Copies of this chain bind each other. A is one copy, B any other.
Amino acid sequence: MSVQERKARERAERERLIVATARELAEQQGWDAVTTRRLAERIEYSQPVLYSHFRGKREIIGAVALEGATELATAVRAAAAAAHGPRARVAALARGYLDFAERNPAVYDALFQLDGGLPYAQEDTPEPLKDAFAALLETLGEVAGEGVAPGLFTEVFWAALHGLATLTRAGRLPPQDAERRVELLVDRLAVL
């Protein structure tokens, strides 16, 4: 049995290598540069090996997305926990979210811009994705205000953050007023 266990371990290890390498390559040169050939070369295996782990490129993106979701949840919770009082917590959450998006653009794209073949907002949504939303909900639910469903409020706040993150990075919004936009968003949306 030990031999099979070792093989399974090595296989799992290689799968992690693939995901980590894809992520690294995407952060360095963008997702367009993540081709199956380049990826295969970097992990020092041939292309078909990738397909023994993933159905295709889409699933690799999905794997990076799941990894990113866990980290996003952690980042958001850490940011919120470091602040005191509802107002400061929400502002910290917003900055933490945007900061994550800015520092991990490829991961953010895998999560919310590209097609990783993952189901969102459904029962069979993978746990990391649900948890990332839950991390937002924990802080934002407190400032939803009277008669507003916390989930709905979180969705709207999240959408606003997502819009700021993507439009800013794509050069659709000038980067300099980012902080003032966050302030405005927090002050207006959250009921304190």
Contact = CB atoms under 8 A, between A and B. Distances in A.
A113 to B, nearest CB: 8
Looking at chain A, what size class is its interface with the partner chain? 20 to 34
A158 B152 contact: no
Contact of A162 (B120, B121, B163): B163
Contacts of A155: 173, 177, 181
Contact of A160 (B153, B163, B180): B163
A81 interface: no
A144 to B, nearest CB: 9
Interface of A: 112-113, 119-121, 148, 152-153, 155-156, 158-164, 166-167, 170-174, 177, 180-181, 184-185, 188-189
